[in-house]
A and B are shown apart, each in its own frame.
Chain A
Amino acid sequence: MIKSTIKTDLRRFTPEGVAEFGRRVDFARLHKTNIDLDGLLESDESTQVIVGEKVVGDPPSFERYEFCKFLHEIFETHRNALSHTKVNVLLDGGLWSWLAARWASRLTSTKGGKPFVGELSRWVFESQNGRRDYRHLLASPYRIYSQNVGLKDGLNLVLSGPVWLYNEFFEQVASRKYLHTNPEALRGLEILYWDPKRRKEKDGARAVVDRFGVVFNQLELTWDLGGMTAEEIVELLPKEFEIWKP
């Protein structure tokens, strides 16, 4: 359990704030340092207040599913304030860039003993860039979570692991819009690759999951996958998937 820290307002970066944050991310990436956030997170020049009360604490966990659930509760509780400030939770670059900055110290992993920041799109959310928007550390998993709220099975594989850690299942799904917007397809993924008894992925699944995405895209041309159950989708898969079927 993460120790509770001081809560902050819910804010978003202004365009100037996003640009400055981007510059600091670039600097950290090039110099293999932590992102310098000094004077940025609560500055009136670089941020705009959405909820002017201390509502953003630390999440109970940085596991993708738990983290998204935590954010969802904040957004639901303060829906009126978000609407009032015209923040579109799924698309607001200023909001997601600020949230990434808010937890930057926890989201930065290490490589070779030095801080590893990675590419800019992990931190600055470019909602209009279809090739990069799914790479954001927080916005992308949250999009999948919010599109499938209430889905009993289907998110165990995709939203597993800490948000900063590469997850092959997440990568395959997040980059394919027909996949992550289809709850039955996500459930189909779990029928194949999730071991319900051990509550973990099947051994070796990570190495082959990319085939599911590729074949799904091919089937989508011929079959109305949006109107099929997970079992029907799995039934359509070619022979190479037989060993994964229960």
Chain B
Amino acid sequence: MTTRTLNFTRRSRIELTWFHVRTVREGEDLRVQLLSFDHSHLPGLPPSASVVLNCFLGRLGQVRVECGTVNNLLTNVEKKFWVGDHDSVRLSLLVRDVDGDSPGKILARSAEVPRFIGGGTRSLLVVKPENLGSQVWRLQIDEENGPELLINDRIRKSKDLVRSNEFSALVIPEIFRQISEWVLLNYAQFEEPGSIGYSWRQMVDELGVDLDGEDFTESSHREIVAQDLEMAFAGRHRSLEILVTEDEEGLDD
């Protein structure tokens, strides 16, 4: 027996991979911007139809970002709003009729997707779902916000993934190595307590690798020291033991 779904609304579905949204947290505020929307999958959309990005914050409200029209998409519109200590918002993109038979009618809409935006207290490593194509994760280092771990937004439970033992043991040490290179390059400049660079420098210092008086301008030297730091980090966080213990537990089963 087959089940059919009837689409009474005649509304088209916008797949999550067709649009790309940037969210940047600034303290208790969030800046949101639609970066792209590939509507070529929906050839029937009227050129004058409006494109709206909705941001939902639970019961606290809904923020609309008007992003122009289908044939004149505005990707430079940025909206800033208060999110307090919420660690996620829900995003949805819709296209609404403007000049057609039913002004205001929704012609196409995406599902509401949660976007992790970090907690109220500043996280050392911000985790962000992003459209990464076929790549699973990527480290991005922003001069102002510091390192950001981008996780492919097709992975629904990105927070769970990052917290998993496998990710902690196999991926986090490599992320730390990349961040260490950035810290070493800017070691002398990261002196301002409270800054993200200072916090990372402290983390590197705590590993006990002697860095005093070293010159890290040469990339080959930075790479070697960063590898040392990665090993110290993996040892401190017992990366191998996590997997070995898991494996042994698996054998018992």
Residue A22 at the chain B interface, CB threshold 8 Å: no
B contact residues around A21 at 8 Å (CB): none
**CB distance A227 to B96 under 8 Å?**
yes
Find residues 104-144 in chain B having any chain A CB closer than 8 Å to their own CB.
104-106, 120
Contact A130/B94 with A221-B9, A222-B9, A224-B105 known, Cβ cut-off 8 Å: no
| Interface size of B as a range | 10 to 19
Complex interface: chain B residues within 8 A of A225 (CB): 104
Q: Bound state CA distance, A143 and B50, in angstroms? A: 30
Interface size class of A (residues with CB under 8 A): 20 to 34
Give the tally of cross-chain contacts (CB within 8 A). Answer: 53
Contacts of B189 in A (CB 8 A): none
Assess whether B52 is in contact with A227, with CB atoms less than 8 Å apart: yes
Taking the closest CB of chain B, its distance from the CB of A8, in whole angstroms, is 26
* Cα of A134 to Cα of B58 in the assembled complex, Å: 12
Contact A90 B84 (CB under 8 A): yes
Instruction: Tell me, rounded to whole Å, the shortest Cβ–Cβ distance linking B74 to chain A.
Output: 15
In Å, the complex CA distance between A222 and B120 comes to 35
Interface residues of B in 53-97 (CB under 8 A from A): 54, 58-62, 64, 84-85, 94, 96
Let me know if A104 is at the binding interface, CB within 8 A: no
Residues of B within 8 A of A178 (CB): 62
A residues with a Cβ closer than 8 A to B are 86, 88, 90-91, 130, 133-134, 143, 147, 177-178, 180-182, 221-228, 232, 236
**Given contact pairs A90-B60, A226-B64, a sample of 18 additional A-B residue pairs in the complex whose CB atoms are under 8 Å apart:** A88-B84, A91-B60, A91-B85, A133-B59, A177-B59, A181-B59, A181-B61, A221-B9, A222-B11, A222-B105, A224-B104, A224-B106, A226-B52, A227-B52, A227-B64, A227-B104, A228-B104, A232-B104
Question: B interface vs A, CB < 8 Å?
Answer: 9, 11, 50, 52, 54, 58-62, 64, 84-85, 94, 96, 104-106, 120
